[in-house]
Structure 1
Amino acid sequence: MLYKYICLFLISLFSFALFGQGETSNWYFGNGAGIKFNNDGTVVPLTNGRINTFEGCASLSDAAGNLLLYTDGIRVYDGNHSLMQNGSGLYGDPSSTQSAIIVQKPQDPNIIYIFTVDTSTFEDDPDLGLNYSVVDLSLNGGNGAVILKNVNLLEDCSEKISAVVKNCMDNSIWVVVLGTYSGGVGRFNTYYAYEISPTGVNATPVKSTFNDLQVVDPRGYLKFSADGKTLASANSSNGLYIYDFDANTGVVSNQQILTITAPNKFPYGIEFSPNQQFLYTHTSNNEPANQDGGHSSSLLQFDLTATDISASEVEIDRNPIYRGALQLGQNGKIYRTIAESYIKGTPYLGVIENPNEKGIAANYKHNAISLNGRNATQGLPPFIQSFFDRVEIVKNTDGSTSTSLDICYGEPFNLEVENIPGATYNWEKDGNPITNPSNVLAINTADVTDSGRYSLEITLSDPSECPIIGEAFISVNPLPNAPFLSLVQCDINTNNATDGITFFNLEQAIFDTSYTFSFYESPADITTNSPITDPIGYVNSTPFNQTIQYKVADEMGCENFGELELTVRSVVFTPDDEKSFYQCDDNPEDLLLESTFDLSDFQQVNYPNKDIAFYATLEDASLEQNSISGVYKSISKTIYARIEDSNECEDIDVIHLVVNPTPSFTFDNEILWCTDGPPLPIKAPGGFDFYRWYKNEGGLNQEMGNQQDLQVSSTGNYTLLAGYIYNTNDGSFECTNEVEFEVIPSNIAKIEDERIEDIWENNLIEVIVSGDGDYEYSLDGNNYQDSPEFRNIQPGFPIIYVRDKNGCGIARKKISVIGYPKFFTPNGDNYNDSWQIIGANSLFQAESIISIYNRFGQLVAQISPKTEGWDGTFNNNALPASDYWFRVSLEDGRIFKGHFALKR
């Protein structure tokens, strides 16, 4: 009898160390990210973490949920988030899948072992294998210190590690890794199980070798089921395996490979459901880690109770994300990292809400947990899986069980387990004992204070059996507030505005849109669940005053009931209730008389400091639906202003929106004025009430006139404004339209010069002019051209004509084009009887000297352009027919020579 008592005492002591409630309460991972599990099963983000890791991490809290330490496998941080004394230089690696796992020494809560698994990430990066370091929490003022560092157990191993309780009698824990048969470098085919007991770490492992296992890819998680009977191993490109595990001996056996048929076939994260029926794995397409896009991952479920486990595969999610971890939480849900790439995480976690359910009923939610701006990467902290070996103690109304329950204030709930003969039932809530020796804990009327974490330790009569641990997370939600409500409505029923019967929009009484409201005419209707079917168009059945009921429900379905009083206020429209809002037609060019009304401005002017809303119809004003506000585009129509005080209708005003026609007219954009002429008279289109002319001077408009006509005496930019005047009860109202135009200068050309190339076969004239006009050119006064250049001009005295295209006049100039005849016939017929240069006379080149020579070079005549020319004689004697030469010295200084023929 004494022996049994001692065993039970040891079991109780050991179970207190291993099966406390809060060891998994705080998780730290990724880029300073973290989450905390509350006693009611809710999760909140933590932003005070200091680790920055791509993958591996580990954390541990005490039984009450207080953080003890966390690590990335290299640095250890204490519960105050300070680097622990001597807490750096551990042989883990932030790029190792499971860089570390933390194990508390059995029967010594102050001694913590941190097991680390290293990896090699580049050529000169050594892989230091499996090591452990020791933390003493009693040192450094209770903040702990690392007292032993990097004790090597294996030269090399895979990046995975897991831990589970051996049994209660031996007070031990197994830590298992995957390595090579020799323990050195090579292919991984051997599982090493190290026992951690009250005496410390046994460096001699239990080895389980599988000769047909040839793993070269170290990536992926290793995970026990919570009961310690099954071990799962994810090896990325080398596949997913499950094994049997004998917790008494540490032997791994019965290897099975699970074939993955989903498109993403590379397993990384793995986790068991709380009831240990299902295995979940996070697989990826194994695209290169350093690329930003192209990644894809699947979340798969396998049923371990199926005859063909591989064939039971169900893909419950697929997303364009990178590989990631899965980790069971103390609330019975499984959490998933959802990084975008190897180096780029996301500020969310995914959650499998009901992991004990088959297929899509597991209810996976993406981006379910916000990390408050901190990023999760690929890893989540692993724990001794025995922490999650719990029986479900929530007894649901359908007979099923679960680990969590959300209920409403006032509802009952039962926590219940099997009644085991001879067993002792010890209940706790939030760590505090509950006096209840039964296997059933019944709460008949739940209060908010009943929220929390309930645990049950069942001590069996057989001292060799470990205690059975049950756990439940209960959240009792308060009922939503249901105050007394009232609605005051104006009776604007057009049939009878004084009968106290009108429309109500009952939804106007809703005071919190996050709640769901239902309305009932009577308490009896609540009993029969017969709500008002049209709460927006409800017509009261009792004149002037009526009280109805309402139900308010939150998102959890928690309901409360209250009363809504309906009051009708009679409204009779009078002229004082009518106002007019005048505007001008926005677009006078179309056929629609429509304008834009600024209702906000109208409200400020006519209803200052009043609570009003505008509606297009009386029905909308009554039901407070489809309100209009701000800038409102409309034709002429009547709208209504509903005036309220504290959501009570005070009055309804009639607002007449009046759209007045805006002047429509056309006017030339450009007007030409001959600046060398008189002022230019211009005239606006007729038919308007007033006119205003403006000229833009230096950016300012200067008024030039207010009549229909205007005399323009200067060029520049002008504006013509024309308008209508409308007389209203509030005074006059103007609608105007305006056009901008430019007065452009033009005038008669001034011929400044001309360029003449003459005395050759293709004589040329180019006219050079100045002026503001648009000019064209002619040599005959009839045929004009745009070019000022003329070619092939006969010698003589042509007249140049320059005409302004805008009608301001013609400039003229006579010019001289020099040439000479090739022959002459002095025979007295008065035709071609003398020889003279052409284009020179008493006005042009008058002082030129013309010398004529015979073929022997003898000067035979010297003439002037002022004369008729040479008559073919020398000393009054007729010279013979022959060729003669000439030399001309023009008045302008030019000299040219040539010859011609004298014919008889």
Structure 2
Amino acid sequence: MNYFKSLLLLLLVNFTCICANAQVITIDGARTPQQLVENTLVNSSCLAISNTAGKGDGTFPIVPMSYAYFNSGTSNFPFSEGVVLSTSMASQIAGPYTASMGGGSNLWLGDSDLDQALGITSVNATVLEFDFVPLTDLISFNYIFASNEYQYGYPCSYSDGFAFLIKEAGTGDLYKNIATLPNTNTPVSSLNIRPTIVPGKDRNGNDYNGCPAVNQEYFNGFNPPSAPINFTGQTIVMNARTNVTPGKTYHIKLVIGDDRFQYYDSAVFLQAGSFTSKIDFGEDRTAANNNSVCYGETILLDTKLSPSYTYKWFKDNVEIIGANASSYSATETGNYRAEVTFAPSTCAVMGEIKLEFAPEILSTNTTLLQCDDNTDGFSIFDLTKVNNIVKNNISSTLNEGYYETLADARNKTNKITTPQAYINKSPNQIVYARLENEFGCFITATVTLQIATTSIIDPAPINTCDEDEIQDGFYQFNLNTEVTPVITAGLPSGLTANYFLTANEALTETNPLPNIFKNTIAYNQTIYARVVNGPDCYDVVPVPLVVNTFDPPNFEDESEYLCPNSTTTLTVDTGFSSYLWNTGETSNTININTAGDYSVTVKGSNGCEKTKNFKVISSEPAVITNAVTKDFSGNDNSVLLEYTGTGDYEFSLDGLTFQDSPIFNGVPTGTYNAVARDKNGCGLSNLFLVYVLDYPRFFTPNGDGYNDLWFIKDSNLLPDYTISIFDRYGKLLKQMNQNSMGWTGNFNGQKLPSDDYWFTLTFVDGRKVKGHFSLKR
């Protein structure tokens, strides 16, 4: 028993001590719930506090071990002092950070309201609760959530829970949790506010998976060993707030508990004096919040308090002289603050708001002119043509549509659904453009819809010639250069024209034609020109297009040949309106004595032109310079004529039969007068004497006067030579030259028998011809 009392005393000393280490917070666990609420958390006469209660570690009821007063001392903890609620004993809250598993007693129970609010099963719950009566419509306080569950993979799967539960006192209303992320219903926890958790191994060496960061902007960071509190990580300073009704009694329950397991404890630190009644002017109206105040708008800042109280208004921390009412109308960008002192008490409350006024939305009222195809005063207007005009060409301004009435434009109702094809309802009708900035601020601009009174005289047909190879009445027009200048001649400068197949398409500006337009109806087609001045229609006029054809007969390109020292005549038909040769002559014929390319362009009665080309080619008689003869070959004898000349030639050996090739094959022996003839009519070449020789294949020396001698006919025409005749055994029998009469078939006066004999014909230049022949008796 004495040991148990000594332990209690030691714990009590630990709770109430002021630690010697000034770099960590100090904990005082001896203060009562009423002291903690009235003297620390609230510390204001602007809230009436009652029914204060607290509940902590039930193991040692002598000391409220899990809620306490804290002081930052000289540490860098964000709050200088306040109240802390923890799932561990108060002695384990102060730093330095030891990465302890912590833990509480199994006898320390959870809280059913916390479980219902968060959907958890809590243990080791700590509660601080009280009633209060607000004087304004808003209560607010600051806090920090810290936890040892910012270790390993725990933030990926679960978190200890805490809640600030509020409801009207004495009612069966459900609690509302205001310990949530800003502008959400998401509870603050290590599961909902965490950095990126990388995979790793836990304290026991077990693998755990990581997880991505969630709402990391609210995570202040992991604590080093020298941290002023004994928790792994903590949030930034958070704010809990809720609207209330002044004068009503509310009950608030501040509660924290471990989820399922008593290890890895958590705590919530409440800033001293931050639980206060405030004036609610709503959220800041800034560009960062995407809700800036519209240009020219007046914002009424209303405290909604009695005018009998004392008021001071400040703009950018400078008191606004003369502003002493319960409300203030703000018209300029600035940080506004109201300070209200209640009478007859000295209680003072405050409200703040930051206002940023958006720049003025610039606009221009304009008129849109449209053409009328039937002069009834109604037409189809494309309102989108003035989209940029009405908003002064400012790209950041949004055009939110056109409306038939100002009321509809202001209320954003009954928007014109087809602004690109709107039919006016009356002459000079006004429609309204609604122009907005990114904050939803708007102004309206007017667009007056007028029917154009300007007109253009219908142009005469625009003619062109079908200049392609097929004269089918289809050809292209360059509308910008061939048509627009005709239509806009004499009109104000700056007008432009677009072209369409139909008048209705010209009115609605649908399916515009390309500038290079090939007619789709042969010979004659009418298209429509929409002449505009910027977005305004000047007039819609029909434009007749005519494609003329011109295809004179006998106008194919020709070739003519010109012989030396001669003249040729180039001629085309008569009857054309004009002629122009590339030589400059203007008649239908010209005489040419020089080869080259010539052309004549003729013009028909419709002004279309056609060009005929002549190629005059130089030609001349050939000059045969040589004949290469292959003879002594029997049926394989051939002659190749060599020649010069630029003409196109055919060749003959007898002057009667001509061929295209200068090579003659199978030429019999004989004497020939070869000649070449120009196919282009420039005459014959020189005659060239050609000899084709051969030896007889047999002879019959029987004295009948026929073939009695073996000799080579016309051999006298050959250069010097020697003929040697042998028998089959190679025995030389006879030698002859060009002066010899021939061989009689005798050797040494004796007649040789019928047989085959061989000869060698040797020329002085070394050339040899060998062959054999038969002697028949």
Alignment TM-score, normalising by the size of structure 2: 0.50
Indicate which of 504, 520, 544 corresponds to 1:656: 544
Q: Distance in 2 between matches of 1:651 and 1:692?
A: 43
Report if the CA contact (8 A) 1:663-1:688 is conserved: no
Instruction: Give the drift of 1:599.
Output: 1.3
**Residue 282 of structure 2 corresponds to which residue in structure 1?**
395
- Superposition pairs of residues 103-114 of structure 1, within 5 angstroms: none
Q: Alignment partner of 1:835: what SS?
A: coil
- Superposition pairs of residues 839-858 of structure 1, within 5 angstroms: 840=714, 844-845=717-718
Indicate which of 436, 440, 451 corresponds to 1:553: 436
Residue 294 of structure 2 corresponds to residue 408 of structure 1: yes
Residue 498 of structure 2 corresponds to residue 614 of structure 1: yes
Instruction: Give the drift of 1:257.
Output: 1.2
**Residue 399 of structure 2 corresponds to which residue in structure 1?**
516
Q: Distance in 1 between matches of 2:311 and 2:72?
A: 20
Partner letter of residue 476 of structure 2?
S
Q: Alignment partner of 1:405: what SS?
A: coil
Q: Alignment partner of 1:656: what SS?
A: strand
**Residue 596 of structure 2 corresponds to which residue in structure 1?**
716
Deviations 1:28-57 (A, max 9, x none): xxxxxxxxxxxxxxxxxxxxxxxxxxxxxx
Q: Distance in 2 between matches of 1:799 and 1:260?
A: 115
Q: Alignment partner of 2:153: what SS?
A: strand
Deviations 1:80-105 (A, max 9, x none): xxxxxxxxxxxxxxxxxxxxxxxxxx
**Residue 585 of structure 1 corresponds to which residue in structure 2?**
466
- Superposition pairs of residues 675-824 of structure 1, within 5 angstroms: 675=563, 679=567, 690-694=578-582, 702-703=583-584, 706-707=587-588, 713-726=593-606, 734-738=607-611, 742-759=615-632, 765-773=639-647, 788=663, 790=665, 795-797=669-671, 813-824=688-699
Q: Distance in 2 between matches of 1:457 and 1:504?
A: 57
- Superposition pairs of residues 13-412 of structure 1, within 5 angstroms: 169-170=72-73, 172-173=75-76, 206-208=97-99, 252-253=148-149, 255-257=151-153, 278-279=192-193, 302=214, 395=282, 403=289, 405-410=291-296
Report if the CA contact (8 A) 1:599-1:632 is conserved: no
Q: Distance in 2 between matches of 1:714 and 1:508?
A: 66
**Residue 837 of structure 1 corresponds to which residue in structure 2?**
712
Instruction: Give the drift of 1:595.
Output: 1.5
Q: Distance in 1 between matches of 2:373 and 2:614?
A: 55
Q: Distance in 1 between matches of 2:736 and 2:447?
A: 133
Instruction: Give the drift of 1:682.
Output: 5.5
Report if the CA contact (8 A) 1:777-1:787 is conserved: yes
Q: Cα 1:206–1:280, aligned 2, differ >3 Å: closer, same or farther?
A: closer
**Residue 826 of structure 1 corresponds to which residue in structure 2?**
701
Is the deviation greater in 506-515 or in 659-668? Answer: 659-668
**Residue 357 of structure 2 corresponds to which residue in structure 1?**
476
Q: Alignment partner of 1:819: what SS?
A: coil
Report if the CA contact (8 A) 1:670-1:744 is conserved: no
Report if the CA contact (8 A) 1:597-1:634 is conserved: no
Instruction: Give the drift of 1:825.
Output: 1.3
Q: Cα 1:260–1:690, aligned 2, differ >3 Å: closer, same or farther?
A: farther
Partner letter of residue 609 of structure 2?
T
Report if the CA contact (8 A) 1:593-1:661 is conserved: no
Instruction: Give the drift of 1:735.
Output: 2.9
Report if the CA contact (8 A) 2:281-2:301 is conserved: yes
Partner letter of residue 833 of structure 1?
D
Gapped regions of structure 2 (runs ≥ 5)? 1-69, 79-93, 102-142, 158-179, 200-209, 217-235, 239-270, 341-348
**Residue 478 of structure 2 corresponds to which residue in structure 1?**
597
Structure with bigger RCO (C-alpha 8 Å, 6+ apart): 2
Instruction: Give the drift of 1:799.
Output: 6.5
Instruction: Give the drift of 1:255.
Output: 1.9
Q: Distance in 1 between matches of 2:570 and 2:198?
A: 82
Q: Distance in 1 between matches of 2:554 and 2:631?
A: 53
Q: Cα 1:482–1:673, aligned 2, differ >3 Å: closer, same or farther?
A: same
Which structure has greater strand proportion? Answer: 1
Report if the CA contact (8 A) 1:405-1:473 is conserved: no
Q: Distance in 2 between matches of 1:471 and 1:776?
A: 115
Q: Distance in 1 between matches of 2:657 and 2:195?
A: 98
Q: Distance in 2 between matches of 1:299 and 1:772?
A: 93
Partner letter of residue 646 of structure 2?
D
Q: Distance in 2 between matches of 1:860 and 1:650?
A: 115
Q: Cα 1:666–1:207, aligned 2, differ >3 Å: closer, same or farther?
A: farther
Report if the CA contact (8 A) 1:691-1:723 is conserved: yes
Alignment TM-score, normalising by the size of structure 1: 0.45
Q: Distance in 2 between matches of 1:662 and 1:674?
A: 31
Instruction: Give the drift of 1:832.
Output: 1.7
Instruction: Give the drift of 1:643.
Output: 5.5
Gapped regions of structure 1 (runs ≥ 5)? 1-166, 176-194, 196-203, 211-245, 262-271, 286-297, 305-327, 331-385, 459-467, 695-701, 727-733
Report if the CA contact (8 A) 1:581-1:657 is conserved: yes
Report if the CA contact (8 A) 2:464-2:477 is conserved: yes
Q: Distance in 1 between matches of 2:198 and 2:575?
A: 79
Q: Distance in 1 between matches of 2:761 and 2:704?
A: 27
Partner letter of residue 465 of structure 2?
C
Instruction: Give the drift of 1:817.
Output: 3.3
Q: Distance in 1 between matches of 2:641 and 2:585?
A: 40
Q: Distance in 2 between matches of 1:710 and 1:827?
A: 76
Q: Cα 1:206–1:634, aligned 2, differ >3 Å: closer, same or farther?
A: same
Deviations 1:341-387 (A, max 9, x none): xxxxxxxxxxxxxxxxxxxxxxxxxxxxxxxxxxxxxxxxxxxxx9x
Partner letter of residue 546 of structure 2?
V
Q: Distance in 2 between matches of 1:693 and 1:633?
A: 31
Q: Cα 1:639–1:442, aligned 2, differ >3 Å: closer, same or farther?
A: farther
Q: Distance in 1 between matches of 2:527 and 2:679?
A: 58
Q: Cα 1:394–1:516, aligned 2, differ >3 Å: closer, same or farther?
A: farther
Report if the CA contact (8 A) 1:501-1:540 is conserved: yes
Q: Distance in 2 between matches of 1:779 and 1:469?
A: 132
Report if the CA contact (8 A) 1:614-1:639 is conserved: no
Partner letter of residue 151 of structure 2?
Q
Partner letter of residue 659 of structure 1?
V
Q: Alignment partner of 1:477: what SS?
A: coil
Q: Distance in 1 between matches of 2:327 and 2:436?
A: 25
- Superposition pairs of residues 868-883 of structure 1, within 5 angstroms: 869=742, 881=753
Residue 373 of structure 2 corresponds to residue 493 of structure 1: yes
Q: Distance in 1 between matches of 2:554 and 2:76?
A: 97
